[in-house]
Structure 1
Amino acid sequence: MSAAEEPHITVDNTMGAAFIGVICAASLYGVSCVQTWFYFNRYPGDLWYIKCLVAIVWLFDSIHQALISHTVYFYVVTNFNNVSEQANLVWSILLEVLFNGLIGFVVQSFLTMRVWKMSNQNKPLTVLIVLFVLGELTCSVAFTISSLKLVTWTDLTHLKSLSMTVNVLGAVADVMIAAGLFYFLHRSRTGFKKSDTMISKLIMFTVSTGLLTSICAVASLLSILIWGKTLIYVAFYFSLGRLYSNSLLATLNARKSIRGLNDEDGGNVSFSLQTFSNKLRPSRRNMKMAPNQTNISIKIDTTQELIRDKATKEKDFESDITDVGRSEDTSEAV
């Protein structure tokens, strides 16, 4: 986060925005708690590292919520009439930057792995995204270490450029991840109505995930630039980590409902989007040479994928984007 340029922070002109930010973050935290409970109850058979991922995100979320709540309580309640103390920094508002960065790093790393899988291991694209994700985490850690040595809000103004860099890197990483997943999902359309409906729903989740976090990061950045003498930007920054965690949990919890689209008419098709799209490419080439055989070829490929999934019961991790259509027997593995 960035420092306000005003030497003295007063309840009247700055902490109102911070208080609103804590309320919004607390509301989103309640949603993430419900989603976490829902996840562990609905997907007890998920692989252990996916459960650990969810648990770690929830833990960081809880710590971050406790830190920002302590910050507002310190300034608005404990030191409401203590103007000199309000001019000083409290440790919790500095440490919350680190946990916000950690939440973003974990979720963005998870989504980057999806881009890696969906792009058939496109190294240049994946490396570029990883650089932005690592850059955001590095700047968050550097900001936290540097700011903990400071005493007043005036001192914190020297780290304004670093805090702005955190927001910029986060927004760019979110946009790149969302754009990459959107492109590869759109390219994976098969021509089957049910599978295309599932892909469309996944695209909606992908775009909303990147869009919400990007808008929040940009709003925080613009608030620093336009209202630098206030704490308006924290109203957005406090909620950023919560948007990351909720977007992750919403995507994981939506897997069964998305797969349910496949069973509405009694269908039971299981496929991997990545494999399925690769399978269809030769079929599309065959369409030009033997259009009358197209439907038979596609049907055989689809049946082979279903048999292979049932026979091998593969347990390699694939997210709901790369394997949203698994049969109910293997739906517990992401």
Structure 2
Amino acid sequence: MATIDNTMGSALLGVIGAAGLYGVSCVQTWCYFNRYGSTDVWYIKALIGLVFVFDSIHQALISHTVYWYVITNYNHPEVLVNLVCILLEVLFNGLIGFVVQCFLTMRVWRLSSKNIPLTAVTASLVLANFGCSVAFTIQSLQLSTWDELHGLKGLSMTVNVIGAVADFAIAMILVFYLRRSRTGFKKSDTMISKLILFSVSTGLLTSICALASLVSILCWGNTLIYVAFYFSLGRLYSNSVLASLNGRKDIRAFVDDPDDLTFSLQTLSKARNMSSVRRPTISIKIDTTHEVEAERDSSEKSCTSKSQEERRMIR
């Protein structure tokens, strides 16, 4: 019974952390639609709306689980060994990660000047991660107790490993191309440094969380400590993309023309192709038009005066 209490305590700790991050994502979603709801293109707004819906369903599932264990079945310890709908949250965690990673893959596509092999590798990692999440959800729905869940340990580890690799790869690719886009000018380089910071935070935070969940499975496989990290993974995806989108006005403060910065990063991919031209060239043009015309006028006057003199001599 002590083992069950410790196991459920770890799961409840993850629920509390996920609930706190859900509150942050709600505030960030409100800020996004308040600041950019009337200016952003439809697919960016659809992305944020979809992430918020999946985030809310995920929170509803884990809240229902807590209520079922703590309130409905209070003082019934034998119920703690049974599984409820909490494992559906793996699917919605995977959906949140899939949507956000697809958005980041589009950034890779645009910033790399439509590099097909690189984008294909990134997309393959994203699809593999989502496929493993779906497979885990399907198999877990056939289970009835927490003890049976240990049979899916290998698949759970695979989900965390592929997710961490995909996030790290996307972050490093974006950092590489952003660094190549530096122009040597202070304002544009400061803007690029901000974008690099957002890219690193987006990839590394989720990678660290996935690795922490993996280590928990390896070291404490008989507990649900890894759930405390996995519950927070979807929240980190949603909050990372929201933070990067909501921070665009702050980034635009570093450029003279705010319209020069689009979040699709198309301008940066063009700047990368012109990065070899770092200093403006100075050309000197000597205009001799006035001198030529002056000489021409002088010659014409000389000819005219000579002609007049000849006519006078003839007369």
Query: Residues 134 and 269 of structure 1: is their aligned pair in 2 closer, same or farther, counting only changes over 3 Å?
Result: closer
Rounded to whole Å, the distance in 2 between the matches of 1:24 and 1:137 is 23
Question: In 1, Cα distance between the equivalents of 2:20 and 2:249?
Answer: 25
Partner of 2:270: 275
Q: In 1, Cα distance between the equivalents of 2:163 and 2:2?
A: 27
- For the structure 1 residues 268 and 164, does the alpha-carbon distance in structure 2 shift closer, same or farther, using more than 3 Å as the test? closer
CA contact under 8 A between 1:20 and 1:235: conserved in structure 2? yes
Give the drift of 1:11.
5.4
The CA deviation string for residues 173-196 of structure 1, in whole angstroms up to 9 with x for no partner, is 000000000000001000010000
TM alignment of 1:67-216, pairs within 5 A: 67-91=61-85, 93-216=86-209
Among 208, 223, 231, which residue is 1:230 paired with?
Answer: 223
Q: Identify the residue that residue 291 of structure 2 maps to in structure 1.
A: none
User: Comparing 77-86 with 58-67, which one deviates more in the overlay?
Assistant: 77-86
- The alpha-carbon distance between structure 1 residues 10 and 79, as it changes in their structure 2 partners (threshold 3 A), is farther
> Of residues 251, 255, 259 in structure 1, which corresponds to 2:252?
259
Query: Runs (4+) of structure 1 moved beyond 3 Å?
Result: 8-11
Amino acid corresponding to residue 295 of structure 1 in structure 2: P
Could you give the per-residue CA deviations for residues 151-202 of structure 1, whole angstroms, max 9, x where no partner exists?
A: 1122222111111111111000000000000000001000010000000011
1:51 to 39, 45, 56: 45
Radius of gyration: which is bigger? Answer: 2
- Out of 191-200 and 16-25, give the one that drifted further: 16-25
May I ask how many residue pairs the two structures share in their alignment?
Answer: 276
What is the rounded CA distance, in whole Å, between the counterparts of 1:76 and 1:217 in structure 2?
Answer: 28
Q: CA deviation at 1:269?
A: 7.8
| Cα RMSD, aligned residues only | 1.7
Asked whether the 8 Å contact 2:209–2:230 carries over to 1, the reply is yes
* 8 Å contact kept, 2:164–2:210: yes
Q: For residue 296 of structure 1, report the CA deviation from its aligned partner.
A: 4.1
Contact preservation (8 Å) 2:150, 2:222: no
Point out where structure 1 has 5 or more consecutive residues left out of the alignment: 1-7, 285-293, 298-334
Taking structure 1 as the reference length, the TM-score comes to 0.79
Once residues 258 and 141 of structure 2 are traced to their aligned partners in structure 1, the CA distance between those partners, rounded to angstroms, is: 56
Q: Distance in 2 between matches of 1:151 and 1:201?
A: 48
For residues 178 and 138 of structure 1, do their structure 2 counterparts lie closer, same or farther at Cα, with a shift above 3 Å needed? same
Q: Which amino acid aligns with 2:101?
A: Q
Residue 37 of structure 1: how far off its partner (Å): 0.7
Aligned-pair CA distance for 1:29: 0.7
Q: Which amino acid aligns with 1:119?
A: S
